[in-house]
Chain A
Amino acid sequence: MNSPFKAVKMTDHVWWVGAIDWNIRDFHGYLTKRGSTYNAYLILADKVTLIDTVKAPFREEMMERIASVIDPGRITYIVSNHSEMDHSGCLAEVIAAVKPEKVFASAVGSRSLKEILPIEREITAVRDGEKLSLGNLNLSFMETRMLHWPDSMFSYLNEEQVLFSQDAFGMHYASLERFDDECDPAILAYEAATYYANILLPYSPLVQKLFEKVTAAGLNFRLIAPDHGPIWRRDIGGIIERYAKWAAQKPTDKAVVVYGTMWHSTEKMARAISEGLSRGGLHVKLMSMSEAHRSDVMYEILGAGALAVGSSTLNNQMLPAIADVMTYMKGLKPRNLVGAAFGSFGWSGEAVKQLEGILAEMKVENGGEGISVKNVPDDEALSRCYDLGITMAEKVKGRR
């Protein structure tokens, strides 16, 4: 077989055999501007082991990469670290093609894989801390429930100190460079952060618990091999440090102002609030939802100290684009924010109250009374908006 798709060597026994998705731009609501990769890994131990598979349309690419180093029929074990279909999509077909001796997953994974895929045979459930012998090498399993699915787990190749971390430490970045030291650090910094903000943020307390557990176990990592994006080889300490920082959700001097407007009135209020926030010493990101994407808003929310949300009222509701971003944001559970709502209205004006309700559900600290203005805001109204910015900034600075 002479395919252009080759495996990439990571250590004496571990190879990357995944697929590169250059063109994907929407990942269930997350805008992936740089495409992505689905990483699968091959361990050439006495018992040849495949860690995860790839999204279904990319199965042949993965099989060809595997074939560049070994006959896929020699795969003895398959391990599923995560049931989501960008990693399990072709698992049934791969099982049928290579006929492995055993397929392993977490207790939840062993059930969920059979619920979502046409897999008839048994999947062996492994427990947290269980060690699997691959003959000359040993693979340990670590349950990581809700990071970010109930079935999620990590695998750790003891002798070579490689952590297979499925989605954790990953990013949506399509590249032919496979290792962090080969990539532009600015791209890695951005993509890792936006990935955390859009996928892992609500599970921050679990990330902190996991770090305590791993530190107590005294594990060392030579490589961290996630299921998306580059493999961490040089800056392992750096990405772990950043995860700890993001999980702690300690607010910074950053404010995010998100708004929707119909005839520029709410926009004028948004600009006045922004000026006030800046005058109060915060770094402001002003985002109009006609232009910004919800996943870009979440990137800015990561680490933010203040959130101001504004909307006109359309048919007694907040604008649909605002309902969209607030639903998305609420699910991602950002913490330690000071917030307020604002908006211009024509006659009924329900939006500001609705937004305040959402902010309360999100446990956002009240940064100031919401401002509702009929029609076009005059100087007095804009002055109140400016003052709201100042008040919110004082609250943020006062907490630090």
Chain B
Amino acid sequence: MQRYVCGICGYVYDPAVGDPEGGVKKGVPFEKLPEEWVCPVCGAAKDEFAPE
């Protein structure tokens, strides 16, 4: 599944890992993340992310 990079801080969202701290189980593709989901490192919104 496609990984996405935060344009602000470089954090990589990897669907294989999910975002456990943010309540996102592994296997969730980036497109399916809720609109309010933010980068767990710097708080940037989804629209700051780009495919890796």
Contacts and interface: CB of A to CB of B under 8 A. Distances in A.
Interface of A: 108, 143, 145-146, 150, 203, 205-206, 363
B8 interface: yes
Given A145-B9, A146-B42, 10 more contacts: A108-B8, A143-B10, A146-B9, A146-B10, A146-B41, A150-B9, A150-B42, A203-B41, A205-B41, A206-B41
What are the 7 tightest A-B residue pairs by CB atom distance, in nearest-first order? Answer: A146-B9, A145-B10, A145-B9, A150-B8, A150-B9, A146-B42, A146-B41
Contacts of A145: 9-10
Nearest to B41: A146
Nearest to A203: B41
Interface in B4-34: 8-10, 21
A366 to B, nearest CB: 17
A77 B7 CA distance: 28
Interface of B: 8-10, 21, 41-42
Contacts of B41: 146, 203, 205-206
Contacts of B21: 363
Nearest to B21: A363
A150 B10 CA distance: 8
Interface of B is mostly: loop
A252 to B, nearest CB: 23
Residue from A143, A150, A363 with most neighbouring chain B CB atoms (10 Å): A150
A182 B9 CA distance: 37
Nearest to A128: B10
A118 to B, nearest CB: 23
A143 B11 CA distance: 13
A108 B42 CA distance: 14
Contacts of A143: 10
16 contacts: A108-B8, A143-B10, A145-B9, A145-B10, A146-B9, A146-B10, A146-B41, A146-B42, A150-B8, A150-B9, A150-B10, A150-B42, A203-B41, A205-B41, A206-B41, A363-B21
Contacts of A206: 41
Contacts of B8: 108, 150
Nearest to A107: B10
Contacts of A150: 8-10, 42
Contacts of B10: 143, 145-146, 150
B21 to A, nearest CB: 8
B10 to A, nearest CB: 5
A165 to B, nearest CB: 18
A143 B21 CA distance: 25
Contacts of A363: 21
B44 to A, nearest CB: 9
Contacts of A203: 41
Nearest to B39: A146
B38 to A, nearest CB: 13
A155 B8 CA distance: 21
A143 B9 CA distance: 10
A366 B9 CA distance: 31
A122 to B, nearest CB: 21
Nearest to A108: B8
A331 B21 CA distance: 15
A305 B8 CA distance: 32
Nearest to B42: A146
